[in-house]
Structure 1
Amino acid sequence: MEDKKKPRFEMPHTYVIIFFVVLLAAVLTYLIPAGSFDTKDVTYEQGGAEETRTVLIPESYTNQSEATEGTSLFEPGGGAGFLNYVFEGLVSGSKWGSAVGVIAFILIIGGAFGIIMRTRAVEEGILAVIDRTKGKEALIIPIMFFLFSLGGAVFGMGEEAIAFAMILVPLVVALGYDAVTGVMITYVATQIGFGTSWMNPFGVAIAQGVSDVPVLSGTPFRIVMWFVFTAVGTYFTWRYAQKIRKHPEKSYSYESDAYFRDDFKHNDLEVNFRTGHILVILTVVAGVAWIIWGVIQHAYYIPEIASQFFTIGLVSGIIGVIFKLNQMKVNDIAEGFAQGAKDLLPAALVVGMAQGIVIILGGDDPSSPSVLNTILHAGGQLLNGVPEVISAWLMFLFQSIFNFFVVSGSGQAALTMPLMAPLADIAGVTRQTAVLAFQLGDGLTNIIVPTSAALMGSLGAARVDWGTWFRFIIKFQLVLFALASVFVILAVFINFS
């Protein structure tokens, strides 16, 4: 008799998961009434400059109707019916953010690195690094994790990690690790820094400003927290990476990593790192330095950074043609760009589809009737009459869940902190603790929610499906959740202010 093996459970495709989440959101529109808030502008000081944000007024919440008006199956004229979610999600937002801006950002970065990869400068550079670091390969994990976590803490790295994943994932695979390790030391590290930062301009600074808490206050506590989380993340990644190096077949991304392993077959391991390759690498390094300078000094964001990466790709392509790297011709610049954009197209589509969830729920504008506003209001009511420690922890839990719907740090701060700050006063919790609950809930869940554009872009660059990623990251996510809970509770006990 033939051995009958039990069918192995297959994780649904990311598109399938999002489809059913959108379906659930559509059902909720029949069960939960839409609500809205009045809004006001608040100003605060940040970096010596006056910033203004539009925020909601907590006590102004009103239901728009007693009866619920659910989402229709299809809406003409640019409406938001259930079957419209893909298109409406793809074209929502502006060039400054999700979805259309991030989609363009992902495709342009993919195209730019497609040109760079066409020159083979990255592959040759990786082989040169391997040749020079034999016996010291493990150092790349703690060093890179620390640097990317610092980047997330200091200037809010997120989408920028997509580009770095395209560089470092092939490197770590060539060193005997896997693509999952590459995503950990790039994107995940940035979000640990983002969530535990003492000065992140897109998260903690805005949350403190709209909560009437001195901007950049509470720094010593947060620096200690950042160090602890970064150390835990580094150890978790290093332990996993060492296991994969000894037993490659245990990798969560073993099959998809074949794409990168094929570039480093034994017959290609002869180092041929020439002048042209060096110039391309220097172009990338100089371009990254230009981007960091722009972000820190001039608050460059998606439009500027995308154009900067396009410039890096264009200059690299010209160098490749001049030095005939990989036998490049002028048309190869265009073909490399097209191939690179094509490689990240699935990730770009996920960004738009995921945004469809928020659209079906009515959008994230507090002044427009939406189910999301009702969920936000209901979340705030959970804190009534609850002990201080439980109140603070429930704030953290609520922010973690709400981040699924509004991944933007600045957007979530503007939506939730005007509600959470006065509720913290009522519950006997300091507003600084409420901000802490926000930043931990907002930042740490970015490493798992499929609605995160930066996560999906990084996974696309690493060729790791979200379902595969979920199976790997869920254990680490629970570790982070427990550690964050400890810090939130500790903040209550020390009356963190």
Structure 2
Amino acid sequence: MDQSTAEPGIKSKIPDTFLILLILALVAFASTWLFSPGRFGLAPSGRIDPAAYSAAAHPKGAPIFGTEQQVGLLNFPFEGLVTGDRGSATVGLMAFILVIGGVFGVIMRTGAVDRALTALIGDPADAKSRPGELLILGLFVAFSLAGAVFGMSEEAIAISLIVTPVLVRSGYDSITGMLTCYVATQIGFSASWMNPFGLVIAQSISGLPALSGMGFRIVMWLVFTGAGLAYLWWYARRVRLTPTLSKAYASDSRWRDKASVGAVGRFGAGDAIILVLLLLTVAWVAWGVVAKGYYLAEIAAQFFALGLAAGVVGRLFKLGGVDSNDLVRAFSDGAAQLAPAALVVGVAKGIILMLGGDKPDQLSLLNALLHGMSGLTALLPTWATAWGMLGFQSAINLLIVSGSGQAALTMPLMAPLSDLSGVTRQTAVLAFQLGDGLTNIIAPTSAALMGCLAAGRLGFSTWLAFIWKPLAGLLVLAAAFVLVAQLIGYS
């Protein structure tokens, strides 16, 4: 079967993230009428006291139409969207996500990233300039770093449009392009020490300082990236020597039959300035968080400064032929691309509020669920509980691929559960980020994955048939790191 014709049928059967959230909301609403909420007492330290749990005598039952600050079935999205304050929680997170999306929309509109890649990979029609394994490995490291630093994901789609055709015409295949561009970003995302979209949000919800536990995560990123490099080198060399071994050999013929990629222009001084500004901003953010305690509001302002500077450079050097209006539209478009992720954060929070909220000392079904799960894990060793958290996060990520949304939905439960079961909160966050990132590689609900597959003209079923073994290896490695984290009391 032609993969290009099979894909729409596959994708049409996959529910949208918001549909999944609506189903979860209906389940949550029904649960409020079936089960009694509970509350925990708090120890002097502010942590949950497992011995001080009490449950309501009867189910409370959420209203259909909530009034007077009641959260019901029809108003849970609004209540979730407006909860919190500007510095944290839902409102702050949504604003943060939109600003970051707009900034990178401006950077991508200047074309600086595209021209930098074209300068690196050269002209594929010239055999002397064809990329070898070393350059491919270099791109893998760069994209893994981008995933770790700023959660690069959807941005890989545009890059795949450039890199994949070049690699195919240079003797590799579109799977090599997927490994280089997309899988690298997800490895970086999973093992990140500073990703603002997943890790920082999960740490905030769990009551941990931003970027805490950085040393362990940097080592983890090096190990995961090293493992990815080793596999990519082996696979790319194997396909280059024997192209017919590729599962994508037939579908890649459309790339091999074309003569050129299409010019994006020469890499110039303006492009170099923008890339330097990006690196300086990353260093500025790291310094601000570590030395000054910067959080969402300050980090958003730092990246907004980057967007302004990149826009000025793009206008002065006329990068991509942009004018001022183009840059403003690029900011709007970039924010619009991440608007669904921001909305997911709010809607997920609304579901939690309908269940009674995430405060341990207030009546909530989350507390009742937490108490029940703690009873189930009481007979398990702590390392088994940590592995269970990893498995839970990996499974739910197949349904909710938004890192920020998954953090908002699961960490209010996982963080206190870790207290009750003896797992450190930092280990619980580690299980979240590994589970949240790695299964993005096969999640058909991921817009970034489906977009990169479309950019490489690679069928989802072809990709799944190839990637399940490498993914299994990555999950085993993730389980090993979670085990080590728990054994050393990672905090």
**TM-score, normalization by structure 1:** 0.69
Equivalent residues in 2 for 1:65-80 (5 A)? 65=57, 67-80=58-71
The 2-side partners of 1:477 and 1:367 are apart by: 40
The 2-side partners of 1:436 and 1:325 are apart by: 43
2:417 is paired with a residue whose SS is helix
Task: Please tell me whether residue 112 in structure 1 is matched to residue 103 in structure 2.
Answer: yes
Distance verdict in 2 for CA 1:363–1:234, change over 3 Å:
farther
Aligned partner (choices 274, 291, 301) of residue 280 of structure 1? 274
Partner of residue 51, structure 2: 59
1:60 is paired with a residue whose SS is strand
Distance verdict in 2 for CA 1:285–1:399, change over 3 Å:
closer
Partner of residue 363, structure 2: 369
* Contact residue 351 and residue 456 of structure 1 kept, 8 A: no
The 2-side partners of 1:320 and 1:223 are apart by: 33
Aligned partner (choices 32, 42, 52) of residue 29 of structure 1? 32
Equivalent residues in 2 for 1:410-425 (5 A)? 415-421=416-422
The 2-side partners of 1:203 and 1:353 are apart by: 17
Partner of residue 393, structure 1: 384
Q: CA deviation at 1:223?
A: 8.6
AA aligned to 1:351 is V
The 2-side partners of 1:161 and 1:113 are apart by: 11
Listed one character per residue, the Cα deviations across residues 209-236 of structure 1 (whole Å, up to 9, x for unaligned) are: 99xxxx979x99x998776555445556
The 1-side partners of 2:54 and 2:268 are apart by: 67
Partner of residue 353, structure 1: 347
The 2-side partners of 1:392 and 1:105 are apart by: 34
Partner of residue 189, structure 2: 190
The 2-side partners of 1:25 and 1:240 are apart by: 45
Task: Please tell me whether residue 134 in structure 1 is matched to residue 134 in structure 2.
Answer: no
Partner of residue 3, structure 2: none
Listed one character per residue, the Cα deviations across residues 40-78 of structure 1 (whole Å, up to 9, x for unaligned) are: 453xxxxxxxxxxx322111111022x112222221244
1:286 is paired with a residue whose SS is helix
RMSD, aligned CA: 4.8
Partner of residue 42, structure 2: 39
Task: Please tell me whether residue 331 in structure 1 is matched to residue 330 in structure 2.
Answer: no
**TM-score, normalization by structure 2:** 0.69
The 1-side partners of 2:407 and 2:144 are apart by: 23
* Contact residue 145 and residue 185 of structure 1 kept, 8 A: yes
**Gap regions ≥5 residues in structure 1:** 43-53, 152-156, 255-260, 422-430
The 2-side partners of 1:311 and 1:225 are apart by: 31
* Contact residue 108 and residue 306 of structure 1 kept, 8 A: yes
Equivalent residues in 2 for 1:309-328 (5 A)? 309-328=303-322
* Contact residue 35 and residue 61 of structure 1 kept, 8 A: yes
Q: CA deviation at 1:289?
A: 2.1
Partner of residue 89, structure 1: 80
**Gap regions ≥5 residues in structure 2:** 1-5, 123-128, 165-175, 397-404, 455-459
Distance verdict in 2 for CA 1:309–1:413, change over 3 Å:
same
* Contact residue 189 and residue 233 of structure 1 kept, 8 A: no
* Contact residue 205 and residue 412 of structure 2 kept, 8 A: no
Listed one character per residue, the Cα deviations across residues 111-152 of structure 1 (whole Å, up to 9, x for unaligned) are: 112222332222222221222772243213552476468x5x
1:83 is paired with a residue whose SS is coil
Distance verdict in 2 for CA 1:271–1:439, change over 3 Å:
same
Q: CA deviation at 1:79?
A: 2.7
2:151 is paired with a residue whose SS is helix
Percent identity (aligned)? 30
The 2-side partners of 1:20 and 1:36 are apart by: 26
2:266 is paired with a residue whose SS is coil
Aligned partner (choices 442, 448, 461) of residue 432 of structure 2? 442
Task: Please tell me whether residue 291 in structure 1 is matched to residue 285 in structure 2.
Answer: yes
* Contact residue 28 and residue 354 of structure 2 kept, 8 A: yes
Partner of residue 19, structure 2: 16
Distance verdict in 2 for CA 1:179–1:294, change over 3 Å:
farther
Partner of residue 161, structure 1: 151
The 1-side partners of 2:18 and 2:94 are apart by: 16
* Contact residue 393 and residue 437 of structure 1 kept, 8 A: no
Distance verdict in 2 for CA 1:369–1:223, change over 3 Å:
same
Aligned partner (choices 334, 343, 362) of residue 340 of structure 1? 334
* Contact residue 40 and residue 56 of structure 1 kept, 8 A: yes
Q: CA deviation at 1:266?
A: 4.3
Distance verdict in 2 for CA 1:477–1:293, change over 3 Å:
same
AA aligned to 1:57 is D
